[in-house]
């Protein structure tokens, strides 16, 4: 917390806090509106945020949790790599080992100047449907080093004093399968940064540089005070929890993630000692991803209304042993760390916190983003295409209510790709899209249902990669509730079904169908306590 309190009245602070948050929201809206790919335009797999001149996150658009807790590490890397900023500069990066999370997430960082004075930064991050690598969509369940996953971009200026560095752009576009779409999405990210710069500049001119600078610092202190208060209300002590990933896509056997949470006054320590060492397959997470998942879990468990920013996270101390699956070292592959391991980190942190405060606990959600990438040549136009998709599943039951059916949970907050948009953009036909009855864990309160999405390939020799979990280890129930049902991946050829592993790549020919069937959420409390009215409703709505 700042040594000197920020002298700003509460009403002015709240007005300016919301004004800065609104700038983040407008940035993200413009990014979605001007993007080219269905992954961003339809699924909204992107995030935006505002930072002060020191690189501390002040406000974020409430979009993708796994992006936002990690984005401060990108801004820190950009500031550390660029000796001095000028108006019109935009730094681009995606390197997980230099401030990024995984290669498909490309981050833009831009300074905000008033005359010659740096007053803030704006940043946005978007998941690009392809950044090169061994498989279309830059997603493969069997990579063993990051060099197989796509193009790594260290923090470097793509625009310098407002001038596009075309040689760097051409280098990027030459290494991706869908360059026109990538350039369109990169321009959308630039547009979002321009929006943020314009709005922050206008706000500064309206209220004054000193007032705005003080307000940004005061917002951080305000969030810190609220988080410390919330932590202080929790029972003191420590609790441990362990859960596993199914596998790493390369080797057999589950992968344990262990955590010990210690509450000491108004601080909280989260210690991942004892977690598996980094593995050969692509489920390793860099520290930024682990921090992001931890911050999300604690904010959700305490008070989700606390303004999310760097001040909110000051009372949280994270220990993640270097070289472990939650703090991987180069050249470990990491695409699934951001996608799947982040989900399990949330599961273990919430599990430990639930032991300390059972009245706030919840059963496990589906525990997977159910990632799917499909790429090949579109027979309609002869061009390469790449689809990237995540899918919802069952939300965990709570102490007072059932879980939610067929929803994205925890570290992903994306939408689905609508059937109409998917079939228009890609040579695919959606055969089934429905809830999976009986997949929610039974209990006094039932876990949410998983979903099933079947897509038939209308191209020849399309490569399909899937990176999923909870196919062999169930989402846990609590307080006597049953676990959620497992997910399934199935391919159908000539009427014959073949079960697939949780992670891998297959080739589909014209007429083959891929089916992704997602897990259900865990139940809460023994099923004997479920009210008859709730059971009748389950039967009536075909949930059992």
Answer whether residue 268 is part of any domain.
Answer: no
Answer whether residue 354 is part of any domain.
Answer: no
The position carrying tokens 């007032």 is 211
Residue 6 is predicted with a pLDDT of 54
Cβ proximity of 497 and 491 under 8 Å: yes
Which of 169, 194, 222 terminates a domain? The answer is 222
156-175 exposure pattern, b = at least 16 Cβ within 10 A, e = fewer? bbbbbeeeeeeebbeebeeb
Q: How far apart are CA 130 and CA 250, in angstroms?
A: 22
Question: Of 441, 430, 470, whose CA–CA distance to 543 is shortest?
Answer: 441
Tokens read off for 54: 């020191």
Residue 2 is predicted with a pLDDT of 42
Q: Where are the strands (E) in 399-512, listed by range?
A: 428-435, 451-457, 462-467, 488-493, 496-499, 503-508
Would you put residue 370 in left (φ > 0), alpha (ψ -120 to 50) or beta? left
Tokens read off for 230: 């919330």
Answer whether residue 18 is part of any domain.
Answer: yes
Residue 386's DSSP bridge partners are: 375
Which of 222, 250, 268 terminates a domain? The answer is 222
Residue 3 is predicted with a pLDDT of 42
Cβ proximity of 349 and 297 under 8 Å: yes
Q: How far apart are CA 229 and CA 495, in angstroms?
A: 59
* Cα–chain center distance at 269: 22
Q: pLDDT digit of tens for each residue in the chain (544 aa)? A: 444 445 789 999 999 999 999 999 999 999 999 999 999 999 999 999 999 999 999 999 877 777 767 889 999 999 999 989 999 999 999 999 998 999 999 999 999 999 999 999 999 999 999 999 999 999 999 999 999 999 999 999 999 999 999 999 999 999 999 999 999 999 999 999 999 999 999 999 999 999 999 999 999 999 999 999 999 999 999 999 999 999 999 999 999 999 999 999 999 999 999 999 999 999 999 999 999 999 999 999 999 999 999 999 999 999 999 999 999 999 999 999 999 999 999 999 999 999 999 999 999 999 999 999 999 999 999 999 999 999 999 999 999 999 999 999 998 888 889 999 999 999 999 999 999 999 999 999 999 999 999 999 999 999 999 999 999 999 999 999 999 999 999 999 999 999 999 999 999 999 999 999 999 999 999 999 999 999 999 999 888 8
Its domain, for residue 138, covers: 10-222
Give the count of domains, the chain. 2
Answer whether residue 441 is part of any domain.
Answer: yes
Answer whether residue 1 is part of any domain.
Answer: no
**118: phi then psi, degrees, rounded to nearest 5:** -80, 120
Residue 121's DSSP bridge partners are: 51, 111
Answer whether residue 336 is part of any domain.
Answer: no
Per-position DSSP letters for 308-347, written without gaps between them: -STTTTTTEEEE--TTBTTB--TT---HHIIIIIHHHHHH
Which of 222, 240, 269 terminates a domain? The answer is 222
Answer whether residue 351 is part of any domain.
Answer: no
Q: How far apart are CA 344 and CA 334, in angstroms?
A: 15
Residue 542 is predicted with a pLDDT of 87
The position carrying tokens 């833009």 is 108
- Asked whether the bond before 145 is cis by omega within 30 degrees of 0, the reply is no
Answer whether residue 69 is part of any domain.
Answer: yes
Burial of 54: CB neighbours in 10 Å, binned 0-12, 13-18, 19+: middle
**40: phi then psi, degrees, rounded to nearest 5:** -100, -45
Residue 445 is predicted with a pLDDT of 98
């Amino acid at each position: 917390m700042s040594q000197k309190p920020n002298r700003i009245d509460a009403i002015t602070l709240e007005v300016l806090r919301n004004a800065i948050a609104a700038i983040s929201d407008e940035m993200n809206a413009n990014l979605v509106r001007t993007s080219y790919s269905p992954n961003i335009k339809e699924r909204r797999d992107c995030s935006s945020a505002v930072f002060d001149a020191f690189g501390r996150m002040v406000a974020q658009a409430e979009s993708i949790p796994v992006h936002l807790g990690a984005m401060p590490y990108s801004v820190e890397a950009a500031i550390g790599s660029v000796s001095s900023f000028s108006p019109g500069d935009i730094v681009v990066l995606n390197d997980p080992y230099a401030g990024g999370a995984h290669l498909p997430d490309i981050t833009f960082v831009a300074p905000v100047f008033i005359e010659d004075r740096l007053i803030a930064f704006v940043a946005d991050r978007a998941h690009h449907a392809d950044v090169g690598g061994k498989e279309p969509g830059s997603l493969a369940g069997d990579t063993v080093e990051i060099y197989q996953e796509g193009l790594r971009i260290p923090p470097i200026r793509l625009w310098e004093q407002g001038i596009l560095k075309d040689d760097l752009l051409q280098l990027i576009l030459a290494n991706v399968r869908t360059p026109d779409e990538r350039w369109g999405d990169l321009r959308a990210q630039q547009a979002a940064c321009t929006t943020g710069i314009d709005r922050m500049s206008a706000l500064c001119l309206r209220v004054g540089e000193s007032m705005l600078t003080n307000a940004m610092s005061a917002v951080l202190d305000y969030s810190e005070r609220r988080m410390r208060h919330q932590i202080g209300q929790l029972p003191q002590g420590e609790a441990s929890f362990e859960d596993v990933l199914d596998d790493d896509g390369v080797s057999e056997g589950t992968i344990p993630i262990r955590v010990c949470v210690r509450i000491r006054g108004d601080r909280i320590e989260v210690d991942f000692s004892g977690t598996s060492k980094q593995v050969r397959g692509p489920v390793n997470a860099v520290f930024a991803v682990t921090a992001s998942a931890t911050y999300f879990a604690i904010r959700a468990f305490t008070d989700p209304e606390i303004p999310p920013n760097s001040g909110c996270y000051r009372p949280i101390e994270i220990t993640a042993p270097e070289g472990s699956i939650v703090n991987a070292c180069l050249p470990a592959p990491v695409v699934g760390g951001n996608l799947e391991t982040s989900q399990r980190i949330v599961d273990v942190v919430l599990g430990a916190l639930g032991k300390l405060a059972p009245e706030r606990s919840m059963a496990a959600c589906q525990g997977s983003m159910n990632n799917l990438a499909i790429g090949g040549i579109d027979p309609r136009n002869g061009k390469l295409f790449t689809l990237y998709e995540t899918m919802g599943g069952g939300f965990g039951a709570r102490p007072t209510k059932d879980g939610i059916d067929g929803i994205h949970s925890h570290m992903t907050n994306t939408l689905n790709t609508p059937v109409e948009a998917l079939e228009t953009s890609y040579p695919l036909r959606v055969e089934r899209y429905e809830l999976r009855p009986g997949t929610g864990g039974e209990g006094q309160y039932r876990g949410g249902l998983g979903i099933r999405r079947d897509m038939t390939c209308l191209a020849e020799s399309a490569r399909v990669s899937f990176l999923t979990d909870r196919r062999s280890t169930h989402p846990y129930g609590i307080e006597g509730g049953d676990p959620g049902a497992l997910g399934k991946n199935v391919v159908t050829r000539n009427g014959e079904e073949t079960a697939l592993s949780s992670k891998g790549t297959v080739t589909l020919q014209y007429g083959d169908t891929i089916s992704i069937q997602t897990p259900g959420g865990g139940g809460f409390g023994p099923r004997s306590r479920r009210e008859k009215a709730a059971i009748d409703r389950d039967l009536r709505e075909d949930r059992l």
